[in-house]
Amino acid sequence: MSDVQRGWTCPVVHDQTDRITLAHGEGRRAMRTLIGKRIAPLLGAADSCALGDAAVLPVIDRPVVMTTDSFVVSPLFFPGGDIGTLAVNGTVNDLAVAGSLPRWISLALIIEEGLPWETLARVLESVGRAARAAGVEVVTGDTKVVPRGAADQLFINTTGVGELIGDAPHGPASLRPGDELVGSGRIGQHGVAVMAVREELGLEPPPVSDCAPLVEAVAALRRAAMPVRAMRDATRGGVATVLHEWAGESGLTLWVDEPRVPISPVVRGTCELLGIEAIHMANEGTMLVAVEAGYGDAAAEALRRVPVSSRASVIGGVVARNSEPVLVRRATGREFPLDEPTGAVLPRIC
Amino acid sequence: MKYLDEYRDAAVCERLLGKIRARASRRWTLMEVCGGQTHGLLRWGIDDELAGIVELIHGPGCPVCVTPLESIDHAIELARRDDVVLTSFGDMLRVPGSAGSLQDARGVGAGVRIVYSPVDAVQLAARCPDKHIVFFAVGFETTTPATALAVRQADELGLTNFSLLVSHVRVQPAMELLAADEHCGVQGFLAAGHVCTVIGYEEFHAFARRFQLPVVVTGFEPVDLLAGILACVEQLESGRYTVDNQYSRSVRSVGNRDAIRLVDDVFEVCDRPWRGFGNVERGGLALRPQWRAFDAAVRFPRASLPVVEPPECRSGDVLAGRIKPPQCAAFGRSCTPDSPLGAPMVSSEGACAAYYRYANRRTSLDVTAGDDGVSNDVRAAT
Amino acid sequence: MCLAIPGRVVEWIERDGLFARARVEFGGVGRDVNMQCTPDADVDDFVLVHAGIAISRVDADEAARILEALAELQLDEMDEPQDGREAAPPTRR
């Protein structure tokens, strides 16, 4: 990787003593020391020996839900989180929106040779903190060190296992005309936060990622016995991508009322300035929920009772398929086709 | 946000739409010159609302569309050099040169970096003395003060590792070419509000008189766009052709004198090839000789051979309003947004890409709805 | 061709020269903007910003005048739409 992708930290030679080296990846002893003495304590593992190559999980009398995801965000740190919080919450949220209670995760690190130990330690502390906040336990993991250039500083894979609570939502194929769409919070915050750091946009205050576990939000819907058809965390491609995916899977038309979509003043200003659309930008702690007709307001109210979704609101609905899969009603009161984002969103000047 | 939200007001838009519909006794054909206005018209669905009443031809005011292939190839060539980092606006990254885009080049290790402002590229040069920072200066008159300022700042800082690859264009010569073209059916122009913010609109008086065409300086929000269209229709209906300023909160007749002085100090008018147009006399701006030290084209002359546009691409005719995209034989066949031949198929606000999406949608409507498919087919084809 | 966004001048940082700049606020977010071309903008004035530089000071009086005129824009009897189109179709067909 060239320096260009790294946000221009000038390649000044630092003290070489405390960096991850290829030896950590090859030597058994160096690796054991790295994991046992240094990584495990940061993760808050009660017993460092427990962090072995395999974890034995207790038998539970409910169906288990499993997911896996890899995290390659650049830069590693951004306001509101880092690759560690992202690696936990991304996987936790995939489990939560599938209707399960997240219980255990694995943590696989792919480290580029030369990564400062301090950087890794910061990320691992975040992983530990995020896992505790989300109520999951890091039970197994893996560490690989690759030669310089073979990875961009640090990649993380997490696999998560959760237990299904009640019935799983039937998913987007079960959507019906009249269903209501609820957004769990302000949109676009993660994508804008990462773009602002990556492109060094000099924004003040810097936009902050929404990276957070949605476990409590899903539990709130469950407690209120909401008839949920589908839930999805609106990650890459933002809310627009979820709407397109659901429209495709249901064969129906989904619409959103743009003025009702919650958006922070910081994200709003940034999007206007850069000519980008918040609805295309990634979220990491915000989900879209489809509920049966008539339950939108109740679902939003249930969500608002927990901090992670305190700004939930009904933002749209489902109608029979017309000429467009997804429509957006703009402030002018008119409805327009909403495009699916293609490729990376780039700031524009024209 | 102040000065944005008021201009997106539903009730005001509704009244303006009603007024335009009521005022138009026939169908008028207007050209919005600026790509930013095209973006606004499509985003707010104004073109659709006025279908059959006012036809809006998307003009050439999109730097993404008119930056010549040679310039993009040259930029990619510079980005591939080990000692150079090429900076530009996000808009330019996906535009294809003769062999891939800047984004493609970045994917195989070329030094390409997006900046929000040319003056940020100067700061980058100051921070990274071991690299040469080239700013790929595209855009119309609106953008020229920022790039002129970048050159002046680099000079004041004594930087020798900063230069511009200049591909700036001027809007009026292109408007003159279009207006003089007998096949061009444009009956009135919406002039670009932000270009006029910089250069003013005094020069448009002679243009309006010479071609007997109304020119309305227009802003970018839906209320601005509709007010501009209404003012143009009013002129057409009463047989007038003058210059009208509907963006008066930002545009003064003389423009911004400080900005004009800055630009004049650094740039001079030159002939420039426009993608799809060929050479446009006085259609560009180049660095004045005293600023040659900051000219990337002088410092790193182009090594690659000049290239030709794919012959089947008729983007020039599309940009000039001579044909509609579906009348091009390549449209939707060898040329799609996924593999574009010409620039208007690249940019999301490019005329060909807009038509492509529109036409596709009508096809799906025919299948699922079927009731008004005929009229929509007609609309898509005319 | 050109995205330019109005922002409120919050504070001048450097008053003169090529590096004249001010903190400008766009909705909830601020950025340093070069003010070389708008030396007469005061704090709380709005400037139009393109590619990091202010290209004009928004004329508040003129904006108010035009908005007022637009707000008073009325459709009179003769101005009824002639083609009988629905003013606001509920959804696209």
Q: Is the pLDDT of residue A201 over 90?
A: yes
Same domain for B55 and B96?
no
Calculate what percentage of chain B has a pLDDT beyond 90.
64
**Number of folded domains that form chain C:** 1
Which chain A residues are closer than 8 Å to C91 by Cβ? 253, 255, 319, 322, 327, 335
At C32-77, the pLDDT tens digits run 999 999 999 999 999 999 999 999 999 999 999 998 888 887 655 4
Same domain for B263 and B295?
yes
Distance CA B36, CA C34 (A): 22
Q: Residue B358: closest CA among chain A residues belongs to which residue?
A: A337
For chain A, give every domain's residue range. 18-164, 172-337
Distance CA A194, CA A202 (A): 12
State which H helix or E strand residue A29 sits in.
Answer: helix A28-33
ipTM value: 0.88
Which chain B residues are closer than 8 Å to C67 by Cβ? 6
Residue C82 lies inside a defined structural domain of this protein: no
In this prediction, residue B303 has a pLDDT band, given cuts at 50, 70 and 90, of confident
The distance of C64 to chain B (nearest Cα, Å) reads 9
Q: What is the pLDDT of residue A51?
A: 66
Long-range residue pairs from A118-123, CB within 8 A, at least 24 positions apart, any chain: A118/A18, A119/A76, A119/A153, A119/A154, A120/A20, A120/A154, A121/A38, A121/A42, A122/A77, A122/A82, A122/A84, A123/A76, A123/A82, A123/A83, A123/A84, A123/A154, A123/A156
Residue B141 lies inside a defined structural domain of this protein: yes
Same domain for B205 and B350?
no
Report CA-CA distances (Å) from B39 to A322, B32, B46, B221, C84. Answer: 24, 10, 10, 10, 28
Query: What CATH number was assigned to the domain covering residues A172-337?
Result: 3.90.650.10
Residue B109 lies inside a defined structural domain of this protein: yes
Distance CA A13, CA A128 (A): 30
Q: What is the pLDDT of residue C89?
A: 31
The distance of C53 to chain B (nearest Cα, Å) reads 6
**Number of folded domains that form chain B:** 3
Same domain for B147 and B286?
yes
Q: What is the pLDDT of residue A339?
A: 84
The distance of B294 to chain C (nearest Cα, Å) reads 17
Q: Which CATH number fits the domain that encloses residue C33? A: 2.30.30.140
CB-based contact C93 A323, cutoff 8 Å: yes
CB-based contact B43 A322, cutoff 8 Å: no
CB-based contact B369 A336, cutoff 8 Å: no
At A137-163, the pLDDT tens digits run 999 999 999 999 999 999 999 999 999
Same domain for B281 and B150?
yes
Q: Which CATH number fits the domain that encloses residue B295? A: 3.40.50.11740
Which chains would you list as touching C if contact means 3+ CB atom pairs under 8 Å?
A, B
Same domain for B96 and B164?
yes
Residue C85 lies inside a defined structural domain of this protein: no
Which residue from A204, A205, A350 is facing C3, i.e. has the nearest CB?
A350
Residue B292 lies inside a defined structural domain of this protein: yes
Residue C55 lies inside a defined structural domain of this protein: yes
Distance CA B316, CA A267 (A): 38
Please, are residues B186 and B322 in contact by the beta-carbon 8 Å criterion?
no
Residue C32 lies inside a defined structural domain of this protein: yes
Report CA-CA distances (Å) from A350 to A97, A216, A274, B238, C4. Answer: 38, 42, 10, 33, 9
Q: Is the pLDDT of residue B375 over 60?
A: no
Q: What is the pLDDT of residue B351?
A: 76
Residue B292 is classified by DSSP as G
Same domain for B73 and B121?
yes
CATH superfamily placement of domain A18-164:
PurM-like, N-terminal domain (3.30.1330.10)
Q: Which ranges of chain B does DSSP label H, i.e. alpha helix?
A: 10-23, 35-43, 46-49, 63-66, 69-79, 102-107, 118-127, 144-156, 171-180, 193-199, 203-211, 222-237, 257-266, 296-299, 315-319, 351-368, 373-381
Residue C81 lies inside a defined structural domain of this protein: no
Q: Does C30 touch chain A (CB under 8 A)?
A: yes
Q: What is the pLDDT of residue A45?
A: 63
Domain, as residue range, for C49: 5-74
Residue C80 lies inside a defined structural domain of this protein: no
Same domain for B72 and B164?
yes
Which residue from A4, A323, A330 is facing B361, i.e. has the nearest CB?
A323
The distance of A52 to chain C (nearest Cα, Å) reads 46
Q: Does C1 touch chain A (CB under 8 A)?
A: yes
Q: Is the pLDDT of residue B365 over 80?
A: no
Q: What is the pLDDT of residue B352?
A: 83
Same domain for B190 and B106?
no
Question: Residue B329: which region, alpha, beta or left (left: phi > 0; alpha: psi -120 to 50)?
Answer: alpha
Which chain B residues are closer than 8 Å to A332 by Cβ? 8-10, 13-14, 44, 222
Q: What is the pTM of this model?
A: 0.89
Residue B176 lies inside a defined structural domain of this protein: yes
Domain, as residue range, for B343: 315-381
